[in-house]
Amino acid sequence: MISLCFATAIGAKAEEVISLALPVKCQPGLTCFLQNYVDHDVSDKARDYRCGGRSYDGHDGTDIRIPNLEMQRQGIAVLAAAPGRVIGTRNDMEDVSVRTAGKAAIAGKECGNGAVIEHEGGWRTQYCHMAKGSVRINAGDQVTTGQPIGLVGLSGDTEFFHLHFTVRHRGKIVDPFAYGAAENSCGGGRSIWAASLGEQMQYRPREIIDYGFAGIAPTMELVESGEIGKYSVSSASDALVAYVRAIGLQAGDQLSLAVQGPGGVSLSATGLPALDRDKAQFLVIAGKKRTEATWPAGRYTATYRVTRDGAEVLRKTFDVEPRLR
């Protein structure tokens, strides 16, 4: 990630390790998710601080994503992670996926709309991909921990709504999950996130970010936009389909999604062969079209499983009762 470039300067004080608050107003694991971590591999490959695959080559920050466009439109605040002085901002780039805009259009401005804040002890934090016109601070402003500075957006070099959060100490990239980690270590170093965040920042090799039932066959576009929520299941729905979107899936993982109707009757099941490569995100659906006048009354249950080498590594069970129509 190319930085916003700004000039320096807080006077030197006794060096202390910074403590970081969550830079997005959300609940990790519920309303936001950790998509990518800092890349610790010095080659053209990538690995996160736990030697997992939740990163990509050269990634210099932590990506905190929100699930969909509908949530983004509600306005998800980006917050200052620590007190300091703003040394630069950008606020005029469009919220457009780089898949649409193209790399040339954002060259040299990969951070998109963003800000850099300088803190005591040689620390800096950078906030990228904020929404156009949402940045509410300017160079020279003093900010406090938790102060809103903008909104999560889609500007710059990104394909999904998230905050790219970078930490630097005296010009060097720091992984806030693994400060001081020895080179090539797995799980080394220590977290510099505020202790109050506790398990919210726990490492999860894989994670479910969307699940539910719909009265039509869900697509990735419908799920990412949040529009899938408009197609709830009624007794007269043309279809009854369960869906799960997960991130961090790994090559070799096997996925299944089974749906049972009232009384435990099997309705549909999807079983996939082992993944041939890591997946940043992956959508699985299972269901069927209605063949009777209405769906039989009762509760429908879906079970999503990810197994690896015969062992279950992720599981989610959820249900729905079609509303009468």
pLDDT for res 2: 41
- Check residue 263 and report its DSSP letter: G
Position 111, amino acid: C
Nearest-Å Rg of the Cα atoms of the chain is: 22
Query: Which residue, 303, 282, 307, is CA-closest to 35?
Result: 282
Secondary structure percentages of the chain, helix, strand, coil, to 5: 10, 40, 50
Degrees to nearest 5, angle at CA 284 with 261 and 266: 20
pLDDT in tens, the chain (325 residues): 444 444 333 443 445 899 999 999 999 999 999 999 999 998 999 999 999 999 999 999 999 999 999 999 999 999 999 999 999 999 999 999 999 999 999 999 999 999 999 999 999 999 999 999 999 999 999 999 999 999 999 999 999 999 999 999 999 999 999 999 998 889 999 999 999 998 999 999 999 999 999 999 999 999 999 999 999 999 999 999 999 999 999 999 999 999 999 999 999 999 999 999 999 999 999 999 999 999 999 999 999 999 999 999 999 999 999 998 7
70 touches 226 (CB < 8 A): yes
213 touches 302 (CB < 8 A): yes
15 touches 142 (CB < 8 A): no
> Would you list the domain boundaries of the chain?
33-201, 207-320
Query: Which residue, 66, 68, 133, is CA-closest to 94?
Result: 133
**CA–CA separation, 5 and 97 (whole Å):** 23
**CA–CA separation, 212 and 223 (whole Å):** 10
Q: Which fold has domain 207-320?
A: Immunoglobulin-like (2.60.40)
pLDDT for res 15: 59
pLDDT for res 252: 97
- Check residue 157 and report its DSSP letter: S
CATH code assigned to 33-201: 2.70.70.10
**CA–CA separation, 283 and 28 (whole Å):** 20
57 touches 70 (CB < 8 A): no
Using DSSP, state whether 291 is helix, strand or coil.
Answer: coil
Using DSSP, state whether 17 is helix, strand or coil.
Answer: coil
pLDDT for res 321: 97
For the beta carbon of residue 105, count every other beta carbon within 10 angstroms. 14
3-state SS, 106-154, equals HCCCCCCEEEEEEEHHHEEEEEEEECCCCCCCCCCCEECCCCEEEEEEC
